[in-house]
Structure 1
Amino acid sequence: MRSKWRLCVLTVVFFGISFLIGANRASANTTFQDESAALSLLNQKGQAIVNGTTPKVSDSNSTPSSDYSTTYYIDSINGNDNNSGKSPNDAWKTIRRVNSGTDFTNDQILFRAGDYWSDGPTLSPKGHHFKISSYGTGEYPKLAGNGLIQDVIRINNEDHVEISNLDVSNTVSGANGKDGTKLKADLKGIHITGADQGTLSNYYLHDLYVHDVTGTVAWINGSGKAPEGASYQNGWNGSKDSGGIIFDIQTPSRPDSKPTVFRDVTISDNVVNDNSYGGITIKQHEGKADHAWASRDDGTEENGYQSKNWAPHSNITIKNNYIDQSKSDFACDGIYLTSSKDSKIQGNITKGTGTVGIEMYYCDHITVQFNDVSGAVRKAGGGDSAGIDPDRETTNMLVQYNYIHGNGDGILLCGFGYGTSVIRYNVLKDNAVPIPGYQKGQAGIYYVDLFGDSGKHYIYNNDFYNTRQYPKATFIGSAPGMNNTKDHAFVFNNNFFSTQDSPDLNPLVGRRVSYSHNNYFGGPLKPLDGEANALKDDPMFKGQLDTNPQFEDLAALKIANNSPLIGKGTAMELTGLNVAVATEDLFGVPISTNPSIGVSEPMNVAPAGTTPSSTSSSSTPSSSVATPAQSSSTISSSSSISSVPVDKSNRPMAKNRMAPFKVFAREHFYEYRKPTFKVTNRAKKVSKHTILIVVSVTKSANGFRRYQLSNGRFITTNSKFVKRLYFATKVSKLKVINHSGIFSYHSLKFLRQNRMKFYKYGSVLHIRKVVRYGLTTRLKLSNGSYITGNRLFIDHY
């Protein structure tokens, strides 16, 4: 069941409009266009719902699934708890009946669309491998705790659970987001928990509206008097455990109990707003008898930061969620992922959070990418206001391809204990927003905050873009004074840019912080004294970012083919980290052997390991580009950077490979580890509508053709099961099948400013020709404009 619930494309209907939200969007070949289009639709959906539009069940989700043994129906108006519950005309009425002892193993529990259940009890079904969702059409079924129950939904020690198509809230009467006396301790919306179980696996929470959970704010530490509605010194187990969607482990029954962990959790395509403490939280229990299941205190660089008793959750995927905490002074973290490994946070939008938009704590090998993170401020007595924060004892953190804007700190790298991270190909715009009560002369805040005395961090190929005037702010700095005494931070290939004459945003020099191959342009920005291979050139962006750009507008930061930044960066090797080097820039362009400065590579430069057919006059030969090992004058107050040799990992594509293309699953099938399909070779089940990238075609031992995927696995080529995602050959007429419609564009670049005309669902379009565009195609219409060639948006007429 794991793969059935992951990497699918969902058509979600809200207020009668269907939004197609893509998934599986972060392979090496993901296109910027796909990412930005999905975020644009997610933003439209989220804003509409948060501003009062009621989410509705789509037609495609109104029919019960046939994958379960028995379907139970709940109808708050016409139901009767003495009924069998096994048909809409014989439905149960109350949540109390659901909780009365039925074993729901392999069953589904469906609430009637448009109905309302309030004041409890907590929905807490028993069984294994079950689904909670809706039936019929209309508004999401509403489950409202009204602050009278701790959890609206509680799943305890049950796994293989899917929850969808519900409106969940838990609001204390009179709570308005401003008055802390109206909050109630430890309230939750959806609570998945367990203890004494070993591993609990396979959870899929999607297409939910979880909002206005008014729990109190419990901080781990803190001093002095906390604001009303908040408290300090709650320790690990007692802190940050109220809010919208919570996964946590409870106190084990015996001191010698084995740890319980979650595995294979997907939380996707939800709207989550104004929940205190947090929107989405994953936590581990501290353990008993000093087992330290949550923390990693005994990890060291010498032992690879391995902790003897650490019991992390794994394969957590948090994607495509809209999280807005801006209407409550107590709604803090957007996403709080703790004690986890091998997980991904991708394609989410967070707004108006308190403390942090996306925070990781006690984690290893987490990828945070293609998120839009904005508006983080201090709330409820908290000390931070960061967009993204790899916090205490986090290692191999990869933060890439994100848009981080309008926060207090852009990225906070907390150097407590230890930490390792890679921060690359992000756009950080107008961060360092002044803290409420900020007075002239106080320490400023930072686009990147290197806090604490430890941490090995590689901060490279980011765009720092400032359009505001602050009392005081710095692109890279730290209130304690850049005092890294244990490790090293490398700041290379970044593009520092400002449209303002003040403040002085220049990065700060600190102990064990090395700068090289950075560009400084605008206002008082200038290379640091002694910095090797630094530039002070106009980057020659193709456009500019306005006051409130969306993710898709970042395409304006592509550099012209004659930009002075081309080839002036240095290749990276991430020594000491288990993170692969980047192979593509923010926009999906391959990174050349001599990388450029900033987030953009020019379109006509050959990728690493290849020989370009011609050399641009603006390209710099490799002999003139200093590598970190060659940069003996790289600025650093206490160490050199000779430990960062040239990257040799980029290699040309194997000769037996073809130009990659995307396909989508028309039916369920399996990926296999080998081209000869046997049950023992199955890797995972592929859900209908999943998008995959094909890199080559091969044959099995018995001669059947197979597609090889970008992840190295193999799938069928049978057109009954798989089909190319984009039209590749000309057709005369197509119709729009996306319910929210599509736009046409003046050019092949699908930017908002290039939009030409909107075509609603069902429109018939006349196609002139097909144009290849990276892994996608564009279709030229008879009026000269272009539309997407994606078959999930258009189809044969």
Structure 2
Amino acid sequence: MDISYMYLNGNTSDLQDLYEYRVMGTLQPGDSIEVNTPLKVLPRTNNSIDGMQVSDFSNQRTADGQGWNTQEFGLLAHFGKYVSPLDYWNPENQNVFIATIDDSDGLPILAKDVQDLMPIISRNLDAFTYSNIRGETIPAGGAAYTGSTVTIHLAKLKGLDGQTPLTDELHNEGYAYNILPDGTEQPTYTFTLGTGGSIFGDNGAIIMNETKYNGRTLGDAYLYMHKLIDAKNETYPVSSKTTWDPNAYKDVQFYDINGKKIDKPANASYTVQKIDANGTATKVANNEVDMTKDGVYQVTYIYPVTGSVTVKKTITITVGKGNPTPVVPGGGGSSSTPTTPATTPSNNSNFSNGTKNTTEPAVPNYAAKEGAAVYATKKIYLYKNATFKKAQRIATYPKAKRVNRPMFVVTDYARSKGGVLRYKVRDVNHGSKTAGKVGYITANRKYVVPVYYASMPKDKKITVISKKGVNAYRNVNLTKKVKHYKKGAHVKVKKIVKHNLTSRYVLSNGDYITGNKKLIIQGND
């Protein structure tokens, strides 16, 4: 018997590059041949699980006896690359689920309306179970091969805040998971490992793993859903007549569970709330939008799709100029922020509910200065106005590890309707879908603190915690790099100095290192 080998990288004996080998010859009755092929467990690459086939080409010649009829060879076995279920959704990956709907041709396309709601896969691992090719449950850390399955339990998936069920968030945006014939939502989606499909995005381009959408990396778990309501925010000029009637349903489109456009369902309804300058919502008695004067309204359409599935869609209707800039107590009656300069936090010009008092400074001593960076140590929200209302949330920032804490620059100050201090900030989390957003966050020190240290560590040592390490520089403005310190390095410092609204630690040789708490920590951590 003759054995011929083919390698991926030309003439080599490295079995890792072995592409194919053929056993040629004739076996007599009762004879056998055994070929041992050493296999090596390789990491998952390019989101594919490579297969290996063992095929029988014997007695499969074409009619003229020339060549091989590749359409008729017998497939004896098909093996797959080993994949650990825990590795398949690596907890360190920040990939998000892909929200998909069917287009008019039945092809899966990106559900752009709700893609930004999709949470990170690795934060929802408790919603996954795995089975091998025999249907047996694979324990955590067990072995999975091509053909094994992963099941996503949809009711267990959490939204961006890590607490609210993703189902609820989808329902509030006019979407639902696949609806079954009995009127309930499909409880699970099951995927076969190594048999991924294609999702189509803008301009028909195929979306694959590692594709960025609004700054977030798409994963390879697809959540198929129905789009049931579609409506957009609208702005109208002031009119002497009521020209916009939510009861006409002319600015909202409904769909059935097959994705077909339908007229307004008989059981659909709506509610109207008026939003004042401070973001407070008040139900309108007759559910009307007054077109005769400036104002802002929220209209919520409600669609009971089945007996167990109801979806909603809230839009904002702006009439004329909308609402005036909110007046903050003590702000002089025309500004949305206190008039006390941010650079003089000890100023005793105090305010509360529009009148002077002596109980609290306009900007307390603990407050971060205007232009300074702060980060959140616990879960917080970014709001449109200084008076926090759930309906006015712009973004959610879950509690995160120190190195990943969301960071903001304080651009101004404001007070809530009740007189509570707020920071007006700009999101500076580069690479995040929220980067650049502007709004209000709490100034409570239990939730938000300065990013830069203001004191020396007791033992005069700091530890590098940044995954990429940090550099030491010759100059206080962190120019002229002189040394790099890897994560975990312990560095001795002799003093701390201010540089504009940041801080630097000075090393014994006079070099400077950042005082950013996301990059270093005091002491020998």
Tell which structure's C-alpha radius of gyration is larger. 2
Same topology, TM > 0.5 = no
The TM-score normalised by the length of structure 1 is 0.24
